Structure 1
Amino acid sequence: MNQPCNSMEPRVMDDDMLKLAVGDQGPQEEAGQLAKQEGILFKDVLSLQLDFRNILRIDNLWQFENLRKLQLDNNIIEKIEGLENLAHLVWLDLSFNNIETIEGLDTLVNLEDLSLFNNRISKIDSLDALVKLQVLSLGNNRIDNMMNIIYLRRFKCLRTLSLSRNPISEAEDYKMFICAYLPDLMYLDYRRIDDHTKKLAEAKHQYSIDELKHQENLMQAQLEDEQAQREELEKHKSLSAIREELELPNIEKMILECSADISELFDALMTLEMQLVEQLEETINMFERNIVDMVGLFIENVQSLMAQCRDLENHHHEKLLEISISTLEKIVEGDLDEDLPNDLRALFVDKDTIVNAVGASHDIHLLKIDNREDELVTRINSWCTRLIDRIHKDEIMRNRKRVKEINQYIDHMQSELDNLECGDILD
């Protein structure tokens, strides 16, 4: 994953390098024509190739304000920087470098194709501004947490994703997890995702996806509420400015401040609730793993005990059959000293009758052991499933109830404040 040592010294992106790169694009290219005929006009360059130049730091690109395509692969770049003026960039290749953190992309709002293949990246983040992103290549990095996939759900245009040769690609549920959590994805690791795979992934992770969608809806509702609160606050601020010009009483200013405080209180309460949701989710998941492990251990113990019961029954059967045949021989020879009950003596007719009777008893005992084992395993698995489902449902209901309580409380406070404001104005 690390770049091989290069005998060349690290180079700086200065004007000479950039002029040479533009000129090297050839007379057939528009940039090359400009370079030969009129001199280099960096603002007119649409495509720039700077690969295999041993570049250590991105710099001096501010003049390429209309650049659409930038190729910086196979260098020794350690940090993404110097791209803030490339707002029109559509295609960016930073593969085969030494980048550890995704950053410096906040202004690239038109970027559609981003390649960070073969770097040292361990976390997917700081891509929020790339609302048009369609292709993302992060193969051969150090990403090891599947939760990074959930972050990518916000990119509605993303259709192609490459994560091969990362630690997470070795996970057993790698493909199914990504297909479930990114349902609009068409290509994974440059292979098309068929509809059958998407349906299987959705069915496998349906419960988790439903819960995640619920949380996303809550967060969206929170954002919408915050936006509404901000708009309301702006209205109050405008009203405050007008009232100040009209020299309104101080009570009106206090009312506006209270309205802002209510908005801040709402944000604080919702933030605390979201933090609580995350903490409880982590606790519930840990409990689920522990209880599943305990149930698995219980089942192993049950199966071990039942295996011992079968061994005892087999030993009992062998001993009983041996005693029965010995008793039959004594009866035939007239050497039996004990008096047998009539119903028991009726079985000692011949060897086949004895063997069949003892075998039937043995089969019944084994069947009872098997049925008991199945009953115990089924009941413990059913109990575990019901317990986990109930915990998840209880947490969802708790969260919904709490969000409703917060909204009702904030609405009540705002209503009280509005009524107070109206009363003061009438006075």
Structure 2
Amino acid sequence: MTDFAATRRAFHLPEGITYLDGNSLGPMPLAARDRAASMIRDEWGEMLITGWNRAGWYAQPRRVGDRIARLIGAGPGEVVMGDTLSIKVFQALSAARALRPDRRVILSDSGNFPSDLYVAQGLARAVDAELRVVAPEDVTAAIDGDLAVLMLTEVDYRTGRRHDMAALTERAHAAGALTLWDLAHSAGAVDLDLTGADADFAVGCTYKYLNGGPGAPAFIWTHPRHADAVQPILQGWMGHRAPFAFDQDYAAAPGIERMRVGTPPVIALAVLDAAMDVWEGVAPADLRARSIDLTEAFIAGVEAACPDLVLNSPRDSARRGSQVGFRHPQGYAVMQALIAEGIIGDFRAPDVLRFGFAPLYNDLEDVGRAVEVLARLLRDGSWDRAKFHQLADVT
């Protein structure tokens, strides 16, 4: 059994704060703070450029990738780190599209994160492809013989709705298409098995449930059957088979290494590496069971105490990730009032109060306090103050 009391103690959780926004930014692992300091002091400070070899900076993207691979159902040597999630989406999507040159259609859904859709729109213009966007419930029916790539975020960022990865991948393959899965709201929150689902490509960020810190680098996975065949449009020197030969022409590195682009963010990767320590000994089945316990308790509590709120997430836990949304006409102001009371969730337009439950550090006491404060604010109307209606730059 996973000791979630021990994993909770591994984080710095500010006193008086109930943190339910790990699906936007995870809190700081205590080990990350110390690792960042030692990396800057002992490696960058003392080793200077020799750290690329002496401290293993060059190998970091693969080494940290292997630690993430265990959490997403991938094998050793199949995941590499670096760059932002949007860049990794572009790499994976362009590579998948190129593997189906006789097809033009990229299919996604309206619940996909907008940045993924923006990337797909730009790529479609560049390579004469067509992006089709349908409602999440219409994806299966939209998969046909014209499809090149099915690109979906496994857990919807706004509703928490979870796609059936295995079933949709099987359907896409039967139609001759490939799949690309964005795991931004899945990795570290739910049980994942990319290999078992027979997916083709996957990407994800590490600053949410993996707690790598603001701007932490993204990861990319390619199924081994494609790893030596893919040719991403975005090619960089770290993805060259001999980067320090400084050849004028690009020659792809073997396997997932070709999905590297530029110089890796060494300090950020050191922080993420330390953040991954807390995952040692965490069983995926335990993680999922605790996630369901927390989200079920929250839904039951809110619906009993806040009858004016409308559930914006699937009621069936099998179709839900590790976040819950409720709708309120003035959701932004209500969330700002909650934050002022030390209950930190977030808001998604147009009217969604969004709460992320991270099994590593959230518990039933967090659920109870959040329900209690939310009910009080709605009951006494104290959320309806001018200062809570003022939009901040980041909502």
Please, what TM-score do these two structures have when normalized by structure 1? Answer: 0.20
Instruction: Return the structure number with greater strand share.
Output: 2
Structure label with greater radius of gyration: 1
Please, what TM-score do these two structures have when normalized by structure 2? Answer: 0.21
Instruction: Return the structure number with greater helix share.
Output: 1
Q: Point out which structure has higher relative CO (alpha carbons under 8 A, 6+ apart).
A: 2
